Structures are given as structure tokens and as C-alpha cells.
Structure 1
Amino acid sequence: MMKITKIQFNNFMGYNSLILPREQDEELPEGLIIINGRNSHGKSTILEGVIYAFFGPQAFKMKNAESFITYGESTAEIYVYFILDKTNYYIYRKWSRSNSSIAKKLFRLNTTSGNYEEIKSFDIEDFFEITKDQALSTVFVKQGEIEELASKKGATVRDMILKLFRLDIIDKTLKALDKDKSEINGTKEKLQKRLIPIPRIEQEIEELKVKITDNENSIIQKTGEKKIKDDRLKELPSQELLSALDEFYKINDLNKNKFESNRTDFIEKIKTTEFKVDDKDLEKKIKQKIESLEASQKELEKEKEELQSQTFSKNQEKGGIQNSIKESEDKIAKMEDSLSFTEDKVAKCPLCQNDLSKEHYDEIVTELQQGIEENTKNLDQISSYIKDRQAKLQECSTNLDNINKELISVKNIHTDYSNFNKYQEELVRSQKELDEFIAAHDEIGEDLTPEKISKLKLEVQALHTELRLLDSEITTKMEDVKQDKEKIITKEEEIKKMQELEKQIEDIEVDLIHLSKVKDLVKRFVTEYMVTKRLIKNISIKAERYIKEFTAGQYGSLMIDLAGSTKTGLALKVKDHFNGVNESIEMLSGGDRTSLGMALRLAISELMKVIRPTKDSPKNYPKIDFLLLDEPLAALDEERRKRILKHLVKSKAFSQVFLITHTSIPSEIQANRIFVTKSESNGESSARFERQFQVIEKF
């Protein structure tokens, strides 16, 4: 059994703050609780808050979580305390305008510590063992539903009952069959796309076998060609040997060309000299000539140095005499100037600073002129000597230049003779190495000339190239044969897979035929057993007691006739015990029809707690067994309201019944109440709980 014990709202719709009951230790009781107040004062909000706490905003179509927050506030909170299977719980939700996520927590009372502890992981539908839609259909009777159930006819009534019991599962079954059929068709199409015709694969296998035969024949042919070329290659010297021999010939020819070229040049150069090419002492004579020339070179260089030294010394002496003559001439000139000055005044001798007289002047000039004459004679002798030395120096330089030229020429001849000997030695050595190499290899014939070697090298290279090409072709074809044989195995496996695919497609086609037949059967299936023999029978039994109570015993024996057609739907009849006639519900007064609708809806809610109309219905009875009735009494007069309320006060079919009404409550109805009011100044709703302490007999 489940019982709601306390409800608390913070900023939920019209309620800024709501606690029912307000006293801390008080709990909401079992049985009928009437929520009374004027229209639009917030009565339904209390039940909506309970539903919101358990199932969130998803329980309300066309409304989002933000719309449940009190105007002007940013967050809202709901606490609903309840007892389930003798254990105390409370569920808590908190959400805000700025965050779309909703905090949802479930707490359980620890009887040892006395504190509530959070259940970290839970699913509300698993917890109550009922889906949201089933719970809402079972416990919540919406405003106007009673009148609708009482006033609708035929197929509409039938559809309402089927919907309440979720017997629209037939349509869902058909949709599920269509979905299965579509998925199976999709699977079939995918398989058909993968399906390759087996004859085509067999044709490909035959083509591969022909290709394998052609390649194997080609391998045999090319293997024969390869053997012929291998045999020819064995008859010929190896590529390495031919290359080595060719290299020896090239070196020898190169040395021969160098020697012949150098020999020709040497003969031409030596023709103009005193040497002879065939002279066996040629190198000795060349060296002697060089030594002789170098000795003459040294003597002439020494002589040239002496002549240059003598000429330099005499030139210095000549310069000194010339300076002495010039000085004497300058003195004479000064004496003449001084003598001219003495004609008017007394003058001094510029040489001795004595008084200058004519006699003194003549004496000094005579002496100076004698010196000039003597120096002039000496100057002529020195000039003649210098001229002689210069002539000898020129002759010596000419001889030295000739000696140098001849020395260079002879040295060049010596160098050319050394090169001549070197190239001759290299030719002799390379010829010897060639002869020794040929002698060391018997496979080289005597007629293997350089020209023939080049041809053989080309032939060997061509054979190696052709053999590599043949090896590559044979390897490729062998690999092709191997791959083609593997392809045949793969394609044979593919044939098996295609056979399996064909079998799967055949099986799928059979399944599709079966699905079509099942769908046809489901379409033709009328839930005679579920509705007529089981569901309708139980509704009639459950409703019988309510009808008698609500109509003061005038009506009873509810008969619900399922005509079997959606056009006819359900025909509701009751027996009028006052005249003994079975009356159709359409013939009853409005109040009686509403009373009948109320009886029918309570019977349905009571029945939904315990019956399983189909195998898909929950195996366990739902744990939610309270009832929420929103304005079920609006269309009833006071007498009929009194009968229904008396019954609900005494009934124990539900643990709690929350009944919303804005109508007046007969004074003799002793029931627990919640009074709802609304402030005219700010529109804030408020509610208070009042307990009824009178003992009520229950049946």
C-alpha cells in the first residue's frame, strides 16, 4: 500500500510556499481528502505538483518545466513524502529558468539513524513498477473525464476504455509488424545487393582456369628459353672476366698511346740539339751538359757582379769629382762677385775672410782653375773606365742570358727524357700484366682481341638482361597462377556463400509471407476474450457496487455490450429496479448518466490496479494505489454528490482519494479537507489541511 504523507512546494505555480499538513509531526491521513476552493484558486495545482514530483514535466503535454515556476521567481522545489511497503520515502525535484536540467532525488528513511538517505541510482517507473502513462491513466481522473465517459456513445466510449487499458496495443502491434516487415525487407534488399549470380561466378572460375592453363604453358616455354640462354652463357667467359680483360687492354692501349706520343715529341725536340736519341749514354751526357752549363752560369754571374761593383764604385768617384769641379766653379764665381764689389767699397774674401785684393783674387782663382783642370783630366779617365766596364758588363749579361736559355732547354730535354723512360716503363709493365692475366685464364683464347671482347661483353650483358626478364616473367606468371588458384578457391567459397544467401532470402521471403498473414490475422482479430469475456465482465462486476450506491439502489446490473464494430462500439445498459426494465444509458437523466460515468470510471481505476488485460501488461500489481479526482462532482446535484461522497468516505478500494471540487459539501459528510484560497492583492495561492476526527465506518 502507498500513502502520501506530506506535500511541500516552493515557488510552484501559484504557491510561493505550501506545506500540507503544516504541523511538523502531522501526516496526511488515509481515505478521502477533499480539496475544496473556488475555481482558479489553485486546487488542481496541488495534484499537478504530486504528479510533477513523481513523473516530471513529461507528464504534462504542451508545457515545459519553466512554466511551472512561480512568476518572478528563478527556481522551484517540490517535496512529496510518502509511505510505500511500510517504508518512509520522499522524492525531491528542483529546477530553474536558467538551467534546463531538473534535479531529481529519492530519499529513504533509515530507521536506525532516523535520517533520510539518498538512493543514488533509481528509475521511477521501475521503482513503482508502472509506466508514466499507465500511472496517469490509473490514478489521475482528469477534469471533465467523468462527463465525457457518461455522455459519449458507441465507438468513442469503446476507444476511451481501450485507451485507458492500453488496449490500443493492437495498433501498436500492427505498427510493430509493419516495422518488422520493413526491417526484414531492408535486410532482404541488403542481401540481394550482396547476392552475385552463381552462373556469373562459375563463368569467372572457368575464365580463371583458362588463364591458369595459358600461364602454365607460357612458363614451360619461357623456362625452355631460359635454359638455352643459360647454356650459352656457360660457354662464354664470365662478365667479370671480360670486364677485367677489357680493362687490362684499355690500360695497355692508353700506356702505348702515351709512350708513342711522348716518343714522337722527344725525337722532334732533340733534333735541334747535340744529343742523339739512340745514344746509350744520353742521360749521362745530358746531366754532364747541365753541370757544365751551371758552372759557366756561376762564373758569369760572379763576373757580372764584379763588373757591376766596379762600375758602381767608379760612378761614385765620378760623382765626387763632378761635385768638386762644381764647387771650385762656384767659388770662382763668388770671388768674381766679391772683386766687383771692391771697386767702391772694401770687401772680404768669401773663402778666407781676409781683405780681398786683386792679387789675392788672382792667386785664389789660379789655384782653383788648376784644380778644375786636374779633376777634368781625372773625370775623363774615369768616364773612359766606366764605359769600358759597361761594355764588358753588357757582354757578360748577353753571355749569361744565352747560358740560361741553353740550361733551360737542356733541363727540359732531361725532363722529357725522364717522361719518355717513365711511359716506356709503364707500357712494359701493363703489357706484362696483360700477358700474365691471359696466361692465368685458360678460357681466354689467343684470338680474343679487344674488338671481340667488346662484342662478347655486349652478348653477355644481353644474355643477363634477357635472363632477368625471363626470370621476372616466369615469377610473375607463377604468382599469377598462384593468385588465380586462390581466387578459384575464394570464388568456390563465394558460391557457397551465395547459396547460403539464396537460402536466407528464401527464408526471408517465407517470413514475409508469414508476417503478411499474421498482419491480416491481427487486423481481423477482435479482442473477444480480452474485452468481452474478461475486461468488460470485470468492469461490470466492479461498477455494480458503485452504481447501486450512487443511484440509491434504482439502477444496477450494468451491461456493456461490445458490438464488435468500431462503428457501433459499446452499448451501455442498466437495469431499472423500480420498473424492471433494462434502460440504455442514453435514456437516463443527465445526473444519472454522470453518476453512471463516475461508477464506471472508479471501477476502471480499481480494476486497472489488479487486472492484466494482455500478456504485455505489468506482471506485478502497480504500487501506486491512491486516486486523484479532479472536479468529478461538477455536473451532479447535491443529493447525488452526497451519495458519491459517502461512498468514497467509507471505501477502502484506494489507500487515499484526493478529490478536487469547487461545489459545496453536504454538512453530514465528515471527511478530511484541504481548503484552498487565493490572495486578491498578489494572486498567491495558499492551502490549509483540516483533519476530521470522527470515526467513519468502512466497508
Structure 2
Amino acid sequence: MEIQIDNFMNIQKLNIELDDSKLNFIYGISGSGKSSISKALTVNSDEIQSYKTFGSDNDAIVNIIGKKDFKVFDDEAVKEYIITKSGKGVYDVFFGENDKLRKLKEGLQEFLTSSDVIDIRNVIQKHRELLSNLNLELGLSKTPSGSLSKKGVYKVLSDSQDYTIVHDELSVKQKSWMKEGKDFLVDNECPFCFQNMTQDILNKIMEIIHELPDECQTIIKANEKLKQLGINIDLNNIYNKQVQDDLKKVIDKEYKIEKELSAIEEVFNISLNNDKSLEKKTKIKLSTETIEFFRNMGVDIQSFLDRLEKEKEGYLTKKKEYNGVLRSKIKGNINKINEYIAEFGIKYRFNKDDVLSPSIGYNLVHVDANGDTSEFLSTGEKSIISLILFLIANKNEDLVIDDPVSSYDEYRREKILKFIIRYRHFNESNNAHTTLILSHDQIFLKFLTRLLKDDNYCNVIGKTYHLENYNRNCLVSRVTPDDIDTLLKHIKNRCQEVEDYGLKIINLRLLYELKTSNGVEYSYLSAILHSNKNALSEEELASELKQKNKTEDEIINMIWEKTSVKLPKYRKGSFQINKKNSSKFELLCYAREFVQGEDKKELNNIVHFNYALFHILNPYKFNFQSEKSYEVLDKWLEEN
């Protein structure tokens, strides 16, 4: 199959071939485009443009010739198997979510956090605040069952009656005003005009203000709070039984609406990360009063709730189907899974008779249930178990495996690689499917190239590539077993194949730096390397060597004996760098002699880190250093 990519994620242009039904391998440092390739193999055609390279004016293009449907094992796939400690020597293994389920959940999340839902939440909160204010004003309270207590104002409204009104020449508001003033009487002096009142006037005032019970007076004072809730009652006729009944009805309606608003709010508060919360009933039958309440604000609340229920049930249905398939596949292969786990020295096994629930997961139990069960599963071991379960669950699929060994020692890296190959390509029922491993691990690459020399493995290993990507310019190159060796061996080979005097000096100096940086040969090569900076003459060089009791001929012979590289004698100005014939690695090694500070530290780290790897890709053929180092080099080349 062939992958053709243009302007997609961080890849400007890339064409790469994979061998069908074999294990293919792409090595590249972080940011080289491995994840872009993985996404290109799995993206839906209608989503391609959403991954267009940032800043590009051209459309994104992904064309897979011989297209297959790939499943991907990566950090997200690991989350499909949730392994948590539940007791001494016991772990629960739950089934998480695949990409499709995550998208369904994301859709639910987007709905629950949409501006429309936020507006509805605000309306609910506002109604609750207004009703709470009315409660305080009227002294209303609820029974344990949630209904209003028949006390005070609510009792008067519940036991409504017509009150006899004698002084109908006064409005209710005037009577309320008189009642308020009565509380401020001092020595029969009017609190408003400060005149003394006769006993007859006082008796008349008391007669007027007692025409209505105190509770009705409380209602009158709460008129503004009632209006804020949209309750408009003619309180001048509060002495009328019908008005009292009407007021009770609207108060009852508001409490009925509030109860349903709380139910709506609870629905919107479901936790998407809690199955029990999701499985709660969210289909609510709303009253006509609540529907009308929202309709007056231009909101079809029932449609919102129905949509939430539909999306939630769709997610739960798909999740149950997915969990059922996984559980079935695992149940039918538990003995094999336990064998594979044992291969990696992990001291836990699945117990097929100890199922957590019909469609949720299993227990992992320590092999020494009666002994020392204190040993925990490491993060790496959990990832290995997840990889095994993933391979079992996707036995008959084409797979992309993205960085499966980043957190393991060399021994387990090799075992993981061989396990993937054996399970995927030594098994007759699997070997018709394609596997693509993406990795930034050179140790993993080293093991793979070794297997290319093994007759048992070489026939099932397809293309092996190095991928580099600097400034979105991708270059993909085939990797062979000869491309992996020690850094010293790569340097020696380079020293012997180059004819350029300047490149011989750079590489020999690097060779002696890694072996020993305090010998006379190292000092000699360093002096020539810096000769352009200080215009070193032949006489000055000879003088420096004389101080070390050596001649140039003696040092040239010493280098020849150790490296089989014959150097000509130094001549002033003979050390030159032909940048066109130099590899980036050689230019980096040369540039570090001139840059300062953090830039120098960055370039020094390249040499010594690669040396520490022991076996690495040929740095003269493949560019796999950090992007920062190439930025330092570009800057230095511009200035020089």
C-alpha cells in the first residue's frame, strides 16, 4: 500500500510505501510526523480538511492506495483498559472507550456546555433566587415531602374566605400604610403629621387595620416580590376569596415549576465519567406549566431533554456493545492472555471465574494469592497488559502501534518487539494483516534491524524507514542493518571514506574526543580545527608540538596506526570546510566550536548523548538530532 500526504498536520508532502501483510517500521524523533501518518491512516474523509497544515493556503490531501481500515494502539488506546488496584494482590480491569465512544462522549459534553444549556441553567438559578426571596417575604416553608406547609400566609390562602370590609373608601395600600404607622404611635401622636389623635380616631384606625388578618397584610407588602416572579394579582381585592384562591394557584404553580426545574438541572448535572450517573433516568415528563414557562422565553425545553436522552442512550448502547465484544474476545482467550502476561514476568493473571459484572471487566489476581502480594503493577506493566488485550481484541485488523516501548528497559523492548511479530505474523490466522510500528526509540530500531538478519523473522518484516521533518519538509529514507552501529564505528568509517582534509580533521578530532580528550593527537587535531580562528602557521604548530616533545610526522604516524587514516602535513590555510560535501552532523560538530552559552551546550549534548546510546543510526546518513540543534546550526551558517 502507498500513503500520499499533502498539507496534513505537520507534513507538507510525503509519499511512503508499506508492505502488505508484513510488519513495517517508521523511526523518527518527536515532531517528525509519525502521529500525522497514524492520523492519515484512520481519519474520515470528511474530517481531512480540519487537519490542514496551519498557515497553508492549499487543501489537505490524504490518499491511501490500497486503503485498509487501521486500528491504532497509542496512549489513547491504553485508556481503553482501565487497570486500578482494588485490594491486596487484586486489580480491577475495566473497559474504557475507543475513539468512536470518545467522540460520542465529546458530543454529549459539547451539548451540556453549549450556550443554550448555560442559558437554561441561568434561568433555573434566577427562578430559584426569586422564589427564595418570596419565601422569605411570605414566611413560606416546606414539609419533608416537599409540599408547602399550611402555616401562616399559606394557611390563610388555603382556607380562603371573603372578609367584611366596612371602610371601602380606603384602598388596601392606605390601610397597610395605617397599620405600619400604628406601630410607631407614641403618646397618641401621629408618626406622620405629629398631631395628637383623639381616642375616637385611634379606635377607628384599629377597626380599619383589623379588617384583614396580618397574613394578608404580609401578602400586600410582598407585592414587589410577586411581580418579579411574573405574578400580577389585584391586591386591592385581597379580601375577596376568589383573589386569595387565584394567588394560591399561582404560588402552587411556581413551586411545581421549581420542582421540575430542579429535575431538569439534575439531568444537566450528569457526570460523563461515571456510568452510574449516566445510567440514571433522564427522561422527564414535564407539566404544561413548565413547558409554557420556557416557551415564554423562546425555549423548547422538551426538545432539549429529548435530544440529551437520545445522545446519552446512543452512547450507552454503543458502550455496552463495545464492552460486550471486548469481554467476549477476552473470555475466549484468557488462557492465552495469561501465558503472554507470564512471558513478560508479570506476576498477575486474569481469573475468568471472577467477573466484575456481565459487561464491565475482570479481576487481575496475584499468582501468589496466599503469599507476598505486595508487588504492585508498574505503569509499564499495565501498558504491556493493555497491549496484549489490544492485540487480542483486534486480532483480525490492520494495526498501527505508536511508540509501544518508550518506558521499558532494553530486555523488555526486545521481548515486546518479538511478541508483536510472533503474535501478528507467525500466527496463520493473523498473518494476512498489516502492522505499522511508529517509534522514536533507536534501541527498538536496533533490535528490529538485527531481526532482519534472522531467517526466522526477515520474511515477515517489511519496510523500515527513518523519517525526518524540519520546517515541515519531510524526508523518508530506508534503514538497513548496516545503518546501526556504534558511534565510534560510524566515525571511523567516515574518516576512511572522505577525501576532504577538513572533514578528516573534524571526524578524527571527534573520534579522539570520545575516546580520550587529553592525548597529544587530540591537541594536534584541535589546533588545526581552530587554525582559521587564530591564523595558525606551520611554525607555530611545530613550536606547540615541540613543547610536547613530538614532531608533526610522529603524530601523523600515531593517528595512522590507531585509525588507518593517513593525514598530509598541515599547511597554513589548508583547513577548509566544504559545506556542500558535509553532513549536517559534521557541520553541527564544527559549529559547536564557535557558538557560546546554551547553543554550545545543545550541540555538545548531541555528540555525548549519541555516544551514550552505544548503538545508533548512522548520523552521517540520517538527521535525527533535535530541532533546536538544527536551528542553532542554521543561525551559525547564516552568520558564517
State TM-score, norm by structure 1: 0.31
- Structure showing greater relative contact order (alpha-carbon pairs closer than 8 Å, 6 or more residues apart): 1
Normalized per residue, the structure richer in helix is 1
